[in-house]
Amino acid sequence: MTMSNLAPIPELYVSYDSAQKLKNEAAELTSHDLSPRQICDLELLMNGGFNPLKGFLTEEDYDGVVENMRLSSGALWPMPITLDVSEKFAKTLELGQDIALRDQEGVILGTMTVTDRWTPDKSREAEKVFGADDTAHPAVNYLHNTAGKVYLGGPVTGIQQPVHYDFRGRRDTPNELRAHFRKLGWRKIVAFQTRNPLHRAHQELTFRAAKEAQANLLIHPSVGMTKPGDVDHFTRVRCYEAVLDKYPASTTTMSLLPLAMRMGGPREAVWHGLIRANHGCTHFIVGRDHAGPGKNSQGEDFYGPYDAQELFRKHQADIGVEMVDFKHMVWVQERAQYEPMDEIEDKDKVTILNISGTELRRRLSEGLEIPEWFSFPEVVKELRRTKPPRAKQGFTVFFTGFSGSGKSTIANALMVKLMEMGGRPVTLLDGDIVRKNLSSELGFSKEHRDLNIRRIGYVASEITKNGGIAICAPIAPYAATRRAVREDVEAFGAFIEVHVATSIEECERRDRKGLYKLAREGKIKEFTGISDPYDVPQNAELVVETENVDVDNCAHQVILKLESMGLIAG
């Protein structure tokens, strides 16, 4: 048997001496500061994880990948790996020019020769790659609301790896893993991709998969970027380390993959397979709804449960890795063991237990018991350290509504009620206070309003992360910006959007600050509801009507909502 899966593969790095020379010369080059996602992509380009790519996709390769998952060479590649930049930056470049690619500290990681520059049709990319141009999909939202408008393509020269200060001994390049497998004499290796903590069912299923393929096991979690709201990778890696002891010695190893996931379902599964082939693996476990992003705007799943397995099976020969079916493992109480659901003959005679991810999150957030048959105590302990019960976590209440709708008044009342309860520090980030202390230099253009809301969101997320309560009361007219703030906050705790649904007529009738009068006279430009749009929240946690309702009652509705969500102990 050949060991082709373990022979070294090409990397894009130059030798140490050339790198030193390039570093000095790069001082003269135009620089691009990479976003976190671009750094993940660059790392896997340089170390061979994205082999056969030699750089960011050219326009021709991009078109092929979007349309039919093929590079112009004919090689299978399902995911566009492009360097997205602003129009302003793109205009300063000439084709054929070298640019320096730097991390967020300004450290040079590599250079790139810009051979292509184009403005992509992002709706088409979303439709073809992710199956729908629907911003409920995190990657589509990223495409339209975060990524730059222009794509650059061209070959990359690697100078040095991105710096990681965490879990350094657990990070391996494809060639380091191949060398490791050669050294251990492993021929067949099953890879398991994960972005969640491992519980006993996962441990059983991965161990079984390896046994059936007569292979060794590589637990290969993504620690680049996963889905907003996922458990952070520091906690996950501590959980994985706790589980490693549960496998028979010397059958299993773990390595961290700096992959920025797109949550792209079927295409993502094929992409994951190609990446694992580059890392020396021969088999890959594809789960139900592999790398699925959850529900679309219509409340349905983006992908069918077995779409990923079907696409993978179809391209298996090209991927160069064999697919291992993910067995649905359930706990059979009478036999006190995990068994694959479809192999249980006496289903109606035994008690079958299972805890879904949603149920697990509920139990964690409410501090309820998590049984030992479901997860290892060591894992539960790690998860509880990171996520105390909800009534002890920080959260953000975000009021939005027209000027004069009563947001600030209700927010003030809510603040006083929460302070009366005690237990957590409360901060009010009211529009006027913020404009004075955080955003004194900003005007009211769309760009400045967005920046102001993002700043409020940043402060609210820090307060939430540290276990406090943030109450925000800006107008926040734009849905895309409110969503970005929600994602910032939900990384650390709950986000409660409260739409203060006072009609524009009522707000204008009240006209507390005389602003509507000035807006009608054209003395205030871009005034929300008069000369600037307001996106009505579609799925706010709470809608409060203020007409003919007193303030105390409005604030009390918010308190009741917080109690029902478990954020305040009732």
* Binding-site sequence positions: 401-408
Query: Which burial class, exposed, middle or buried, applies to 436 when counting CB atoms under 10 A from its CB (0-12, 13-18, 19+)?
Result: exposed
Task: Record the tokens describing residue 417, joined without a space.
Answer: 């009620």
First and final C-alpha spacing in the chain = 65
The catalytic residue among 37, 195, 262, 363 is 195
Task: Record the tokens describing residue 207, joined without a space.
Answer: 């161990």
The catalytic residue among 30, 113, 115, 196 is 196
Phi-psi category of residue 332: left, alpha or beta, with phi > 0 → left and psi -120 to 50 → alpha: beta
- DSSP states along 414-474: HHHHHHHH-SS-EEEEEHHHHHHHT-TT--SSHHHHHHHHHHHHHHHHHHHHTT-EEEEE-
Question: What gap in Å lies between CA 514 and CA 309, rounded to an integer?
Answer: 61
Is the distance from CB of 360 to CB of 197 less than 8 angstroms?
Answer: no
Is the distance from CB of 195 to CB of 237 less than 8 angstroms?
Answer: no
Measured in whole angstroms, the distance separating CA 391 from the mean position of its chain's CA atoms is 25
* Alpha helices for 185-250 (secondary structure H): 200-212, 233-244
- E strand spans, 18-167: 30-33, 55-56, 83-85, 98-102, 108-113, 116-118, 150-158
195 in active site: yes
What's the sign of the alpha-carbon dihedral 313, 319, 320, 321? negative
CB-based contacts of 491, cutoff 8 Å, min separation 6: 228, 229, 232, 461, 465
The catalytic residue among 51, 194, 400, 452 is 194
Question: What gap in Å lies between CA 237 and CA 166, rounded to an integer?
Answer: 10
Residues that constitute the known binding site for ATP: 401-408
Task: Record the tokens describing residue 359, joined without a space.
Answer: 């149920």
Task: Record the tokens describing residue 521, joined without a space.
Answer: 């006279």
Q: Phi and psi for 293 in degrees, rounded to 5?
A: -90, 5
194 in active site: yes
Q: Is 74 helix (H, G, I), strand (E, B) or coil?
A: coil
Query: Which burial class, exposed, middle or buried, applies to 441 when counting CB atoms under 10 A from its CB (0-12, 13-18, 19+)?
Result: exposed
Question: What gap in Å lies between CA 279 and CA 285, rounded to an integer?
Answer: 15
Active site (catalytic) residues: 194-196
